[in-house]
Amino acid sequence: MGVNLGNLCGRSPGLLAFMVCCVSCVQATGQTARSARTVVISGVPDGLLHNDVMTDILTIHFQMSKNNGGDVEDVIYPTDKRGVAYVTFEDQKVVESVLKKDEHRLEDKRFSRYYLLKVTRYSENVFSSVTCVLNMSMFKEQFILEDLIQEMKKSTDLRFGPLQSNGHISVQGSFPDIKLLRDFLLLKAKSISEKDKREKGTSHQTPRKRQQQYRLATDMSNFARGAEKEVVVLDTDMYHYMKSFFPRIFVVNDDTVIFDITDGDVTTLYIENAGSRSGGGRALQVKEKIEKWSIKLHKILHKERIDFKQHTRDEQQKYRRVCESVKPHYPRVLIIFYDTHIDVIGNPSEVFEFTKKVSNKIQSLFHSR
């Protein structure tokens, strides 16, 4: 049976290729365990001391019982994000303990003052965590979905919800992994398409099945490198940041068009040549430019989420007004308002300062009632 890629992810045609060739998405279980024992530290004073000295100071801080710490396995500093370090503990329970501490003050006799650190879970800190609902019902005739999902759970760091009777399943994980799985599912679907083509002339095929095969062949041709359509998958908030602060990235000639489809945390850009076939390489050039900037910004940007889904509508409006009042002091920080939360994107140190000021103002407002 042919597979229509447009049905994989509901509203977003070909958004996530999640039928996985298992060898392509294998990650060591030890790496999974390590990520669960790792926290991300923001607000590390950058450039004050030698990196080795700062690493020792961070190690001592997170080993101290007064900081709810424990045995530290590894500290990664510096990282590709300024003022950010990664601390891995020997015991995952220490992560929960460290996160419970209200305030982490990094102190040392070589500092002129203390520095407040922001501690978050490794998977929640950056643009890498996204959630998608997949429609895998189209693969029921080729695969036993339950077995395939169980295999994916064993070999990836993705988190799966229950498989629904209609073939839908919620998946959460790192954005790069989702992109990787998307690419390999497209290849898997293409192999199914080629198999269907070989069987196209057999007598048991119905006209409807042949029509499905034709649709798949058409869809797959659009994803082939060098074709008239190119696809880029971005984190939705990253896409908004690029549009807000680097709009020239998306400026194209008259013979090229870009349109986007957003599905929750993921936005898919479709780049097409609107002119003659002679300009067929322009869509690819635009795609490569967008991907280049996406990778560059991914290394230097940081996202924090201000969650207020447990608050009343009036309290949510207070969050919004406070964020808007603080925003002029941080012109390079992007704030995006949602019904249940606010995403704050920008330089790690500025995002940390922004969220800290918002938190202080919110606490002051709520306590004054």
HEC string for the chain: CCCCHHHCCCCCCCCCCCCCCHHHCCCCHHHHHHHHCEEEEECCCCCCCCHHHHHHHHHHHHHCHHHCCCCEEEEECCCCCCCEEEEEECCHHHHHHHHHCCCEEECCCCCCCCEEEEEEEHHHCCCCEEEEEEECHHHCCCCCHHHHHHHHHHHCCCEECCCCCCCEEEEEEEHHHHHHHHHHHHHHHHHHHHHHHHCCCCCCCCHHHHHHHHHHHHHHHHHCCCCCEEEEEEEHHHHHHHHHHCHHHHCCCCCEEEEEEEECCEEEEEEEECCCHHHCCHHHHHHHHHHHHHHHHHHHCEEEEEECCCCCHHHHHHHHHHHHHHHHHCCCCEEEECCCEEEEEECHHHHHHHHHHHHHHHHHHHHCC
Long-range contacts of 242-248 (CB under 8 A, 24+ apart): 242/290, 242/293, 242/294, 242/297, 244/334, 245/332, 245/334, 246/293, 246/297
**Is 220 within the bounds of a domain?**
no
Q: Do residue 54 and residue 100 come from a single domain?
A: yes
Q: Do the strands 229-235 and 256-263 form a parallel or antiparallel pair, or are they unpaired?
A: unpaired
Supply the pLDDT for residue 6.
Answer: 36
Q: Judge whether 160 and 30 are in contact, CB under 8 Å.
A: no
**Is 39 within the bounds of a domain?**
yes
Q: Do residue 291 and residue 336 come from a single domain?
A: no
Supply the pLDDT for residue 110.
Answer: 93
Q: What is the residue whose two structure tokens read 């989420």?
A: 305
Q: Do residue 13 and residue 161 come from a single domain?
A: yes
**Is 215 within the bounds of a domain?**
no
Q: Judge whether 129 and 123 are in contact, CB under 8 Å.
A: yes
Q: Do residue 144 and residue 292 come from a single domain?
A: no
Q: Which residues make Cβ contacts (< 8 Å) with residue 202, sequence separation at least 6?
A: none
Q: How far apart are CA 203 and CA 11, in angstroms?
A: 34
Q: How far apart are CA 253 and CA 255, in angstroms?
A: 5
Supply the pLDDT for residue 353.
Answer: 85
Q: Do residue 260 and residue 135 come from a single domain?
A: no
> Domain containing 140: what range?
7-201
Q: Do residue 247 and residue 176 come from a single domain?
A: no
Short-list 38, 89, 35, 34, CA closest to 64: 89
Q: Which of 283, 299, 315 is the last residue of a domain?
A: 299
Per-block average pLDDT, block size 10, for the chain (369 residues)? 36 34 32 74 90 94 95 86 87 93 92 91 56 68 74 66 80 67 58 58 46 38 51 85 92 83 81 65 86 83 82 86 94 91 86 86 74
Cβ-based neighbour number of residue 300 at 10 Å: 12
**Is 210 within the bounds of a domain?**
no
Q: Do residue 61 and residue 193 come from a single domain?
A: yes
* Structural tokens at position 45: 């004073």
Supply the pLDDT for residue 222.
Answer: 41
**Is 213 within the bounds of a domain?**
no
Q: How far apart are CA 230 and CA 290, in angstroms?
A: 11
